[in-house]
């Protein structure tokens, strides 16, 4: 699978030179951990002051995506997205294949669990992540009317 090239000029224009340079720094420091890749989409953790979940989608006219960092909420683009795009453009086909296979390997043991065992596993993981546990308790992770 060939890596989907992202339009770096469009990213630079959206982010500005300063944010772009900071994203390039994250890329150069190997702060990008890609966990899934498929045609036109990358999903990763990017390590900065915190660990952020970043998704980047290649579009015919530029890009789309999201990040859990505060800058994304403010600007709709961030240095973590830049770092991920640079990774995507630099990735060798085998790097993309490793990311694709990684996602499948992460999903397989979860798919094998029955519902109660899956819930218990998720709750055990949430106990190790106070922010995620708080989000679940505050209702951010699900709609209580549906849940």
Output the pLDDT for position 28: 97
Residue for token digits 């498929």?
A: 38
pTM of the model: 0.78
Reply yes or no on whether the pLDDT at 40 is more than 90.
no
Distance between CA 27 and CA 13 in Å, rounded? 18
Output the pLDDT for position 140: 55
Q: What is the mean pLDDT of the chain?
A: 87
Distance between CA 38 and CA 3 in Å, rounded? 9
Q: What is the mean pLDDT of residues 49-67?
A: 90
Reply yes or no on whether the pLDDT at 4 is more than 70.
no
Q: How confident is the model at residue 68 (pLDDT cuts 50, 70, 90)?
A: very high
Output the pLDDT for position 27: 97
* Angle between helices 79-90 and 17-28 in degrees, nearest 10: 50
């Amino acid at each position: 699978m060939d890596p989907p090239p992202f339009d770096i000029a469009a990213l630079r224009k959206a982010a500005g030179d300063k944010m772009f340079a900071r994203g390039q720094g994250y890329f150069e420091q190997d702060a990008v951990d890609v966990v899934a890749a498929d045609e036109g989409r990358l999903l990763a953790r990017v390590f900065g002051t915190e660990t952020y979940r970043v998704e980047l989608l290649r579009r015919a006219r530029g890009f789309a995506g999201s990040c859990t960092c505060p800058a994304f909420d403010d600007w709709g683009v961030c240095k973590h997205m830049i770092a991920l795009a640079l990774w995507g453009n630099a990735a060798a086909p085998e790097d993309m294949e490793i990311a694709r296979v990684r996602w499948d390997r992460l999903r397989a043991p979860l798919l094998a669990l029955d519902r109660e065992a899956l819930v218990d596993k998720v709750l055990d993981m949430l106990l190790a992540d106070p922010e995620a546990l708080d989000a679940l308790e505050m209702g951010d992770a699900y709609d209580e009317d549906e849940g």
